[in-house]
Copies of this chain bind each other. A is one copy, B any other.
Amino acid sequence: MATTATAEARKKRIRRSPAEARALILKAAQTRLKAVGPEGLQIKEIAAIAGVTHSTILHHFGSAEDLRVSLAENMVEKLLDDILAVMDTGDTVFPEDHSVLFRVFEVLCDDGNARLLAWTMLRGADLRAGEDTLMALFDKIHAGVVQAIKAAAGDMVVKDDVADRHARFIIYLVATTAVGDGIAGPYLARLIGLDEMEATKDFRDWFAARLF
Stretch at the interface among A45-53, A82-90, A149-157, A166-174: A166-174
Q: Which residues on B sit within 8 Å (CB–CB) of A37? A: 38, 122-124
Indicate whether A122 sits within 8 Å of B118 (C-beta atoms), given known contacts A177-B177, A180-B183.
yes
CA distance A210 to B117 in the complex (A): 28
13 contacts between A and B (CB under 8 A): A38-B39, A38-B122, A38-B123, A39-B123, A115-B122, A117-B184, A118-B118, A118-B183, A118-B184, A127-B187, A176-B177, A180-B183, A210-B210
Number of copies of this chain in the oligomer?
2
* A contact set with B: CB distance below 8 Å: 36-39, 115, 117-119, 121-124, 127, 134-135, 138, 168-169, 171-173, 175-181, 183-185, 187-189, 191-194, 202-203, 206-207, 210
Contact A191 B122 (CB under 8 A): no
Q: CB < 8 Å: which of B39, B121, B123, B168 contacts A184?
A: B121
Q: How far is the CB of A199 from chain B (nearest CB, A)?
A: 8
* Given A118-B118, A169-B206; 17 other pairs, CB 8 A cutoff: A36-B124, A37-B123, A37-B124, A39-B123, A117-B184, A118-B121, A118-B183, A121-B183, A121-B187, A122-B122, A169-B203, A171-B192, A173-B203, A177-B177, A180-B181, A180-B183, A183-B183
Bound form: Cα–Cα A193–B165 in Å: 10
**Most chain B CB within a 10 A radius of its CB, from A37, A115, A134, A184:** A184
In the complex, which residues of chain B have a beta carbon less than 8 angstroms from the beta carbon of A192? 138, 168, 171-172, 175
Q: Contacts of A210 on B, CB cut-off 8 Å?
A: 210
Name the residue in A38, A39, A181, A183 with the highest tally of chain B Cβ atoms < 10 Å from its Cβ: A183
Partner of A180 from B36, B180, B189, B202 at Cβ < 8 Å: B180
